[in-house]
A and B are shown apart, each in its own frame.
Chain A
Amino acid sequence: MRYLPKSDAERAAMLREIGASSIDDLFTAIPEEYRLTRDLNVPRQMGESEIIDYFKSAAAKNANGYASFLGAGAYRHYRPVVIDALVQRGEFLTSYTPYQAEITQGTLQAIFEFQTMICELTGMDIANASMYDGSTGAAEAVMMAVRVTGRDNVLVAKTVHPEYREVMHTYAQHQGHEAKEVAYGQDGHVDLAALEQAVTEETACVLVQSPNFFGLIEDIPAIAEIAHKKGALLIVSIAEAVSLGIVRPPAEADIVSMEAQSFGVALSYGGPYCGVLGAKEKYLRQMPGRLVGETKDTEGRRGFVLTLSTREQHIRREKATSNICTNQALVALMVTIFMTVYGKQGVRELAVQNLAKAKYAADTLAAQGKVLFAGTPRFHEFVLQTDEDPEQLNARLLEKKIIGGLDLRKWYPELGNATLWCATELTTKEQIDAAAGVLAEAPVAASAR
């Protein structure tokens, strides 16, 4: 769609046609007292060169040249340049939601391929056209499980991303679900004994994350068995899509929700990202959001359409399965292009590189602190416990242009001075060694003096 500006003459012609003498005439239906009589308080328009200056100076504020060890749901990975080149094509960038199949085959086919690749990756039978992000995906998965089972007690592992849990609780409190948290054990996994005790005939679902918030791979088959024994569904949330290159897909899950940001989506201060929702086919009609299906046209040619829309909000109103009425089409397209460029072998190699970098980082930093849950299999994140206060430690790292691990005290005070570190394929050995060097210079703690 093109932007077509109007000339004064065209404006005058349109006003004449509808019998109005000025633009202000169009607002006479609004009582005078409710009308704004001053100009809107927005900056005046800028010229092209001014806009370019503005964005250059804003971009200069970026922390370029820093090494970052942050992860925790937002991961720094390489983005092949082909992604931005393709998503910026007008056919994708400016197209409206694909309600009209006749004119949106390209968008629909891209979404269909996204769904197909997500199924192959997650081990699920079906996947929708995408959710807003990993957290809303998890919350929607919980509501879906409530609809499927007709039960409304929800169990969430404490090792699920704390912000995902927060979003889930926000949704749940208005749906009347009761959500309880399940503790983790000594090994950093969901405490299976506690879980077994907590699951009852009233439990709609068990929500876990793997790799969990500490970067550890959960024992999905064991958790599935505990949930299924009582007729509860198992939802597996995945915050790091790259992990699927090497970690076994959670095929025992009934629903999988995932954050796909790692697949070609820029960090961008936390969004927009791309949520994924996949499930077993028998739960198809309780799935939120939209689905693109493959069909044949009247001449027998392959084509794509939005399908099962009757469950969606624009048709079923308040009885819809969800209030989501769209999807992250453009961001999902970035993910689709990423998966296509890397391919099965590429994603695997990428995962192996991440694993190797993280192992080197954990081994190197272990000399300067204690890596918690050390014996538990993990992907590319680890928890480091230090004598030094994380805030102080991170301030010292920042002086050396290193962004250290995420301070975990806000969510897991029981772990003491703990930080969550992440290394990806973009982390270099030099950066890891430099961080270890800063840690080694720690001022001696009062207790150790």
Chain B
Amino acid sequence: MAYPEKYKYTREHEWVEVNGKIGTVGITDYAQNSLGDIVFVDAPKVGTKVEKGAVFGSVESVKAVSDLYSPVTGTVTEVNEELNSSPEKINSDAHGAWIIKVELSDSGEVESLLSAADYEKFIAEETGK
């Protein structure tokens, strides 16, 4: 699975795509694969403030419930409602099935996140452990 170059990544396995002031957030293919069949996505409501590095929700698979860590700071402007009825979209297309969109308070903040290449190196180390 290729990790899109235009995304930025966290060590907690979220991705963010920045378009102007809006950051679109999801979880990586590596994350969905480790979790297994996803059955529920607990996302925040529109208007909720999220903070970089802080928990903003959780994904539940048949094996575990994992917290979601926000890669950016800002306010939630949109939530992917499709995941309410079809959370398995994350399994089939992790890099397309976004979870929330965030209006960024500081668009420079993403610079400190991992690039696709760095993230791939990171998960190679994780897997190698």
Contacts and interface: CB of A to CB of B under 8 A. Distances in A.
Contact of B63 (A285, A310, A311, A319): A310
Contacts of A319: 65, 67
User: Interface of chain B, helix or strand or loop or mixed?
Assistant: strand
A344 interface: no
A326 to B, nearest CB: 19
B120 interface: no
B64 interface: yes
A100 B64 CA distance: 18
Contacts of A310: 60-65
Interface residues of A, number: 6
B40 interface: yes
Contacts of A285: 40, 42, 60
Contacts of B40: 285
| Among B40, B62, B65, residue most surrounded by chain A Cβ atoms (within 10 Å) | B65
Interface residues of B, number: 9
A14 interface: no
Contacts of B65: 310-311, 315-316, 319
A319 B40 CA distance: 16
Contacts of B67: 319
A285 B60 CA distance: 10
Interface in A289-318: 310-311, 315-316
A107 B103 CA distance: 50
Interface of A: 285, 310-311, 315-316, 319
For the complex of A and B, list the 8 residue pairs with the smallest distance between their C-beta atoms, beginning with the closest: A310-B65, A310-B64, A316-B65, A310-B60, A311-B65, A315-B64, A285-B40, A285-B42
Given A285-B40, A285-B60, A310-B64, 14 more contacts: A285-B42, A310-B60, A310-B61, A310-B62, A310-B63, A310-B65, A311-B60, A311-B65, A315-B64, A315-B65, A316-B64, A316-B65, A319-B65, A319-B67
8 contacts: A285-B40, A285-B60, A310-B61, A310-B63, A311-B60, A311-B65, A315-B65, A316-B64
